[in-house]
């Protein structure tokens, strides 16, 4: 694996050797220069990932090196170091393209953090340049963007299931792009020339969803002034996509199961069976296994729907796709726009609870606010970060005390609590703990609770 290269340009030999040793111990490949001319030569020939550049050096000072680099267009990220800092020097260094500015004496942990940030910044900048130079080509799956291993697995699975007739369940959090996956499955199936009919089960009231799916005859109910064809019939020969299938009411779950088993439906107000020729694809953001275990979703229907599952990863698990997604959203805009590496880094560090949909909205908002056509950090408006969930009590147990001691402490605490709630009654305490009284007496003696 390639090591990142760091150039240390420092005229004080002791400081240079000490810093080089620390960085080498962190796994970096280190180059050194003792004056500005050597630093400039190394930057041009070796092209290090990061350069730590002292401001005051013989032959050529740090700001002069920065000016020369700006003219040559080097990609190295430069962190300026100085013991003689001033706001004027810092501002000038940043104007000349320095990534950051640190004061001596150096705080090594902080410097190490800045080096890693600079490496990430350089990588994102290179990825942006690559994406901008890329000639748009029609993708294998239209509008599905990303080359992460997680998305590659999704593409592979789509390619495998699309030609088949099996029922597909698309799973993923809200905003991950489940509908795009459904489009790709239909477009690459043998039914692509036939309709793809979509129904959002959460958006239609239960009282109307049945007639929406199965249709109705004239006079089936008040206001049914004419026959209406349902979505099952509309999708004849093609694909029927039922989104948010976990929201389906129990009565409709039973009717859907019957339709899948018998491949027939009946319109409301009619007893005449109608043969259906559809491929069913469903999607949900819910945990259907939990819904089944808690009795809200039929187990037999679950197995009918879950023949093949395509699980879409959340954006936080495929952050390497963010540059490509951002460039995709920028290229779709009617207003020409670009984004700075600093703004892209902000997007990269965010957790994206709303997934790709939230990213798209943030980019679109940024395009509107970026009057110069360049989206900077000022135009990025992110939602509040989600607070971490409270850890399970087992995560708070002190491992250094050992397995047996931790279990003993837990048993002792539970027995004390049960005795308190039972107001000292050992019989009642044993019932609360669901153990027999003899075991309770033994444990009380063991832990000195008599």
Whether residues 425 and 438 fall in one domain: yes
Domain count, the chain: 4
Q: Is 384 within a domain? A: no
Whether residues 277 and 165 fall in one domain: yes
Answer whether 185's CB lies under 8 Å from 161's CB: yes
Whether residues 29 and 11 fall in one domain: yes
CATH assignment at residue 421? 1.10.10.60
- Whether cis (ω within 30° of 0) applies to the bond prior to 9 is no
Of the three residues 286, 311, 336, the one that is the final residue of a domain is 311
> How far apart (Å, rounded) are the C-alpha atoms in residues 64 and 78?
13
Whether residues 232 and 296 fall in one domain: yes
CATH assignment at residue 224? 3.40.50.300
Q: Is 146 within a domain? A: no
> How far apart (Å, rounded) are the C-alpha atoms in residues 258 and 314?
33
Answer whether 19's CB lies under 8 Å from 8's CB: yes
Whether residues 204 and 253 fall in one domain: yes
Q: Is 142 within a domain? A: no
Answer whether 62's CB lies under 8 Å from 54's CB: yes
Answer whether 259's CB lies under 8 Å from 266's CB: no
Whether residues 171 and 292 fall in one domain: yes
* Structural tokens at position 314: 């959340």
Whether residues 164 and 295 fall in one domain: yes
> How far apart (Å, rounded) are the C-alpha atoms in residues 197 and 16?
68
Whether residues 129 and 159 fall in one domain: no
Whether residues 232 and 163 fall in one domain: yes
* C-alpha gyration radius of the chain: 32
Q: Is 282 within a domain? A: yes
User: Where does residue 37 rank: exposed (0-12), middle (13-18), buried (19+ CB within 10 A)?
Assistant: middle
User: Where do runs of H (alpha helix) occur along 102-204?
Assistant: 108-133, 149-161, 178-187
CATH assignment at residue 48? 3.40.50.2300
CATH assignment at residue 342? 1.10.8.60
Whether residues 170 and 270 fall in one domain: yes
Per-residue pLDDT of the chain (450 residues; tens, 9 = 90+): 467 899 999 888 888 899 999 999 888 999 999 898 898 888 888 889 999 988 888 888 888 888 888 777 677 888 888 775 555 666 677 778 788 888 788 888 888 888 988 888 777 777 666 655 554 433 445 578 888 888 888 888 888 899 889 999 999 999 999 999 999 999 989 999 999 999 999 999 888 898 999 998 887 777 777 888 899 999 999 999 999 999 999 999 999 999 999 999 999 888 889 999 999 999 999 999 999 999 999 999 999 999 999 999 999 999 989 988 998 888 888 777 888 888 888 898 899 999 999 999 999 999 888 877 888 888 888 876 544 444 555 555 555 556 677 777 788 888 888 888 888 788 888 888 888 888 888 888 887 876
Whether residues 296 and 334 fall in one domain: no
Burial 105-133 (b: 16+ CB within 10 A, else e): ebeeeebeebbebbbebbbbbebbeeeee
Q: Is 140 within a domain? A: no
Q: Is 434 within a domain? A: yes
Q: Which domain holds residue 351?
A: 315-379
Whether residues 342 and 265 fall in one domain: no
């Amino acid at each position: 694996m390639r090591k990142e290269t760091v150039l240390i340009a420092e005229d004080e030999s002791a400081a240079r050797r000490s810093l080089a040793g620390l960085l080498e111990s962190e796994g970096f490949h280190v180059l050194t220069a003792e004056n500005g001319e050597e630093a400039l030569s190394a930057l041009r020939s070796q092209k290090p990932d990061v350069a730590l550049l002292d401001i005051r050096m013989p032959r050529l000072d740090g700001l002069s090196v920065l000016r020369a680099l700006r003219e040559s267009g080097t990609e190295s990220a430069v962190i300026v170091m100085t013991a003689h800092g001033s706001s004027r020097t810092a501002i000038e260094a940043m104007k000349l393209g320095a990534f950051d500015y640190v004061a001596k004496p150096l705080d090594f942990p902080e410097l190490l953090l800045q080096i890693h940030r600079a490496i990430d910044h350089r990588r994102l900048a290179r990825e942006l340049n690559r994406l901008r130079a890329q000639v748009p080509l029609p993708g294998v799956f239209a509008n599905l963007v990303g080359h992460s291993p997680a998305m590659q697995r999704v593409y592979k699975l789509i390619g495998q299931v699309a030609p088949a007739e099996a029922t597909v369940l698309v799973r993923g959090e809200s905003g991950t792009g489940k509908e795009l996956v459904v489009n790709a499955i239909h477009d690459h199936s043998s039914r692509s020339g036939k309709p793809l009919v979509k129904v959002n089960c959460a958006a239609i009231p239960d009282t109307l969803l049945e007639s929406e799916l199965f249709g109705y005859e004239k006079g089936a109910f008040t206001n049914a002034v004419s026959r209406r064809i349902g979505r099952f019939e509309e999708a004849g020969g093609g694909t029927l996509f039922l989104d948010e299938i976990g929201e389906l009411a129990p009565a409709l779950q039973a009717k859907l199961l019957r339709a899948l088993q018998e491949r027939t439906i009946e319109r409301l107000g009619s007893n005449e069976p109608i043969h259906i020729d559809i491929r069913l694809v469903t999607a949900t953001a819910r945990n259907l296994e939990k819904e089944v275990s808690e009795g809200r979703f039929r187990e037999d229907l679950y197995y009918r729907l879950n023949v093949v599952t395509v699980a879409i990863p959340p954006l936080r698990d495929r952050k390497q796709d963010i540059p490509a997604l951002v460039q995709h959203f920028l290229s779709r805009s009617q207003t020409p726009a670009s984004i700075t590496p600093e703004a892209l880094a902000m997007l990269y560090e965010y957790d994206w609870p709303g997934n790709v949909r939230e990213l798209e909205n943030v980019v679109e908002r940024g395009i509107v606010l970026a009057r110069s056509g360049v989206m900077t950090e000022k135009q990025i408006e992110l939602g509040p970060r989600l607070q971490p969930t409270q850890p399970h009590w087992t995560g708070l147990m002190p491992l250094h005390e050992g397995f047996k001691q931790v279990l003993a402490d837990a048993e002792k605490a539970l027995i004390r609590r049960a005795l308190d709630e039972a107001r000292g009654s050992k019989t009642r305490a044993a019932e609360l703990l669901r153990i027999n009284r003899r075991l309770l007496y033994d444990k009380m003696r063991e832990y000195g609770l008599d």
